[in-house]
Amino acid sequence: MKLKEKHTRLIKEEALRLGFMACGVAEAGFLEKEAPRLEEWLKRDYHGQMKWMENHFDKRLDPRKLVEGAKSVVSVLLNYYPEKKQQDPEAPKLARYAYGEDYHFVIKRKLKALMDFIHQEIGEVSGRAFVDSAPVMDRAWAERAGLGWTGKHTLLLTKGTGSYYFIGELILDLELQADVPVADHCGECTRCIDACPTDAILQPNLLDSSKCISYLTIELKEEIPKSFQGQMENWAFGCDICQEVCPWNRFAKPNTHAELQPKPEMLEMNREEWMEITEEVFQRLFKKSAVKRTKYSGLKRNLQFLDRKSN
């Protein structure tokens, strides 16, 4: 067995042992196909107020500019699909990814452990871990690594598990055995496009983020435009609609990670309790949660916007 094949097998086995759902490898290089798409997407302002997406354009397209001498991008998936859901059907909804501890911390810990393993078992390897917090095109690299295909809603899809998972990477100066991309299995299905209440999915694989409920409830820092009144479908933080209607998500299985389990108190809150949530309750419930990104003031803004619809 060649050394790079042995190293690849060791890394993938350890990734699965650490709890990752899948692990794949792509050769580090320039994302030629994505470059013109990203440029056009930014030019059309589909990123809204997420101006940070305009920064580090070159680094976003070439991991060798992030890690000197980079040869491989190791992509990992972590399942977050919850076993239990919010109980009150009238309660304002949170996207499922935010039910547990902030995924940035959870995945970073696991990637650090994977990096430590590489140092112990393989030797002197330089690299960096990335989790949705640097100019790395996560889905593009996961797709190149054969972990899935990009669905019409722009999320990564996998035949056996759907799309309820996080993506992380190790960019390494280690030569590994690259995987082969998989075929697109969306076919003629347009359920995600048809179901989006704000028409954020303009066409297959083209999202106007400034219309997306996730953007409106998290990234947008000012008041939500009145034009979206009555279109939010009770989502107070994020949105799962395009995932809920996707046929591939019927294969989603509950995650078994203790850090990602929701607090029972949050699942049991009714609509009235959500509308009257205090900052003290917010800080207790979402101490280590991704919901803290919107802050108490942001969540209250979202709740008040939803409440106006029912008055």
Cβ neighbors of 248 (< 8 A, separation 6 or more) are: 151, 157, 158, 159, 161, 162, 163, 185
Longest dimension (CA), the chain: 68
Cβ neighbors of 262 (< 8 A, separation 6 or more) are: 82, 84, 99, 100
SS3 302: helix
* Cα(149)–Cα(231) distance, integer angstroms: 29
- SS3 for 188-215 is CCCHHHHHCCCCCEEECCEECHHHCHHH
* Cα(116)–Cα(125) distance, integer angstroms: 10
From 45, 58, 116, 132, active-site residue: 132
Query: Is residue 208 annotated as part of the catalytic site, yes or no?
Result: no
Cβ neighbors of 74 (< 8 A, separation 6 or more) are: 11, 15, 23, 24, 25, 114, 145, 169, 170, 171, 172, 176
Pair of tokens at residue 146: 């054969």
Tell me the helices (H) and strands (E) count for the chain, helix number first. 12, 10
- Which residues are catalytic, by number? 132
